[in-house]
Amino acid sequence: MEKALQEQVSAFRDFVKKMANYDSAISCLGWDARTGMPKNGVADRAEVIGTLATEHFKMGTSHQMEAFLNELSVPETFQKLDEITQGIVKECKKEFDRNNKIPADRFQQYVVLTSNAEAAWEEAREKSDFQSFQPYLEKIVETNREFIEKYWGYEENKYDTLLNFYEPGLTVAKLDQIFGDLREKSVQLLQKITASGNQPNTSFLTENYSIDDQRTFSKFILEEMGYSFYSCRLDETVHPFASAFNPGDVRVTTRYNSHDVREALFGSIHEGGHALYEQNVSLDLVGTPLCSGTSMGIHESQSRYWENMIGRSRMFWEKYYDDLINQFPDQLGHVALEDFYRAINAVQPSLIRVEADELTYNLHIMIRYEIEKGLINGDIEVADLPKVWNSKYEEYLGVTPPNDGEGVLQDVHWSGGMFGYFPSYSLGNIYAAQFANKIRQDLPEYEDYIRNGDLSKIKEWAKENIYQYGKLLSPNEILLQVTGEELNSSYLVDYLETKFKAVYKL
Ligand code: ZN
C-alpha cells in the first residue's frame, strides 16, 4: 500500500474509532440507566445520551465521512485495503446511505412522531384502547412507506427494504416460503399436542423458589457455559437484556420470579448466549463498527440455541439436574428427571408472545410478519388491525384475546417504527437448528460433551465458526460458510417434531 493511501486509511480508522468510543459510552450510560440509576437522574441522563448520540450520528453522516467513503470505495483503491478496512467501509457506507437519503427535517419529524407514539402506546395498552393509538400508527406506517418509495428505494417488495435493516440480504420471497413450511408443520404438531392425553405436570415449577438461590444457580450455569465473570456482570431488570461495550465487558441482566423458576433460569441462559457471542468477537475488530454480532437473526440464533437446544435438552439436565435439586431440594427432590424435562418443555398456546413456549413462539412471530408485510404494502389498513390480529390468533393458535391490551397492543416495537425486526426472532430458531445440525457432524461426541458438562467444546466451535467474525461476514455468508446451505426451516421442523413427539409421547 502506498504511503498516501496508508495515511488515508489510518485517518479513516481513527475517525471510526472515535465513533466506536462514542457508541461504547452511549451503551454504558444506557446500561446504567436501566439497571439502577436513581429515578431523579432520568431527565438529565436522557439529555447526556442524546448529546452523545447526536455527535455519533453527525460523524456518520458528515462530509468528512462522505469524503472517506468516496475515496476508499473506488474499486482499485478498495481492493488494496485489508479485509477489516474493507468491511468497515461497507458498513459505514450502508449506514451513511440509510441516514443521508432522508431529508433532515423529515427525519427529525419522524423521530418526534415515534417518541410521542411510544408514550401514546403505553397509555393505550394500559387502557386497552386501540383507537387512541391508531392515528400514531397510521402516521408511522405512512412515513415508512414514504421513506421506502421516495428515498430508500426497493426492488421486489417494499417490505424487503425494512427486513434488510435487521437481516441483510433477506427478502419477502424467501421468507414467505420458509415461514410457510414452518407454519404448516407447527400448526399440525400443535394440534396433535393439544389433543394428546399425555400432558406434562408443571405445578412444581411454580412453587416458592428463593430468589437468592435462583441467583446462585443462574451464576453457576452462566459460568458452566463459559461466560467469563472477569469480562461481565449479571444484574437484575424488569426487561432482561445483554449489553456489550467491548469483548472484555459484556453485561447481562435477568429477572427473578419467586413463583416460577423458569423465568430467571432460561432467561439467564438466553442472555448468556447473546453475551458469549459478544465476548468472543475477534479483538482485531475492537474500535470498529464490525465489533458486534452480524445481525439480529444470527444473534438470536445463539441465545435461542443455548436456551432451548442446550438448556431445554434432556442431556443438559442429565448433567445439571442434581445440582438444581441440591439448590431446591424441597421443590424438586421428589420430581424425577423425566418429569422435570417434560415440564420445562410443556407447550401451551397462549396470547402473549414473550411468554410463549419453543414451538408456539414462531406462530406469534409469523402473525406479526404477515401483518407488517400487509401494512407496508397497503394490503392491510391500520384501522382493521384488531380484527386481523384476533382472527389470525384464532386460526394459528386457537386463542382469541379478550381485549386489545393482550392482543394487538402487547408489543412496543411498532410504536418505535421497528418494522422488519420481528422475523429475526424466528430466524434465530431457524439458523440455530441449521448450526446445531452442523455441530453434531463436526463434533461426533457432541451429546457426551453436554452430558459431561464440557460445554466449552460447544463454545469453542461457535467461536471458531460464528462469534469471531463479528460483522465481518454477512449472515448469509456465515450460514453458507458453516453449513454449505441456504436458509431453510427443514432442520427446525425436524428438531421440533422429534423433540415434541417424544415429550408428548405422540
Ligand atoms: Zn434475545
pLDDT per residue as tens digits for the range 16-46: 999 999 999 999 999 998 898 888 888 888 8
Q: What is the pLDDT of residue 326?
A: 98
pLDDT lower than 50: segments of the chain: none
CA 140, CA 136: separation in Å to the nearest integer?
6
Start-to-end CA span in the chain (Å): 64
User: What's the 170 CA to ligand 1 centre distance in angstroms?
Assistant: 19
Q: What is the pLDDT of residues 277-323, one digit of tens each?
A: 999 999 999 999 999 999 999 999 999 999 999 999 999 999 999 99
Q: What is the pLDDT of residue 131?
A: 97
Among candidates 443, 407, 430, which has minimal Cα distance to 130? 407
User: What's the 268 CA to ligand 1 centre distance in angstroms?
Assistant: 10
Cell of 247: 469483548
Q: What is the pLDDT of residue 144?
A: 97
Element housing 367 (H / E): helix 361-376
Q: What is the pLDDT of residue 444?
A: 96
User: What's the 90 CA to ligand 1 centre distance in angstroms?
Assistant: 26
Among candidates 478, 462, 475, 367, which has minimal Cα distance to 423? 367
CA 183, distance to chain mean position in Å, is 20
Could you tell me if 217 and 327 are in contact, meaning their C-beta atoms sit under 8 angstroms apart?
yes
Q: What is the pLDDT of residue 403?
A: 97
Q: What is the pLDDT of residue 494?
A: 98
User: What's the 28 CA to ligand 1 centre distance in angstroms?
Assistant: 19
Cα–Cα distances (Å) from 380 to 125, 276, 376, in that order, read: 21, 40, 8
Cell of 467: 462469534
Among candidates 2, 8, 122, which has minimal Cα distance to 70? 8
pTM: 0.94
User: What's the 298 CA to ligand 1 centre distance in angstroms?
Assistant: 10
CA 398, CA 381: separation in Å to the nearest integer?
24
Element housing 253 (H / E): strand 249-254
Across all residues in the chain, what is the average pLDDT? 95
User: What's the 242 CA to ligand 1 centre distance in angstroms?
Assistant: 8
Active site residues: 271
- 3-state percent helix, strand, coil for the chain, nearest multiple of 5: 70, 5, 25
User: What's the 101 CA to ligand 1 centre distance in angstroms?
Assistant: 30
Cell of 144: 415508512
Q: What is the pLDDT of residue 36?
A: 84
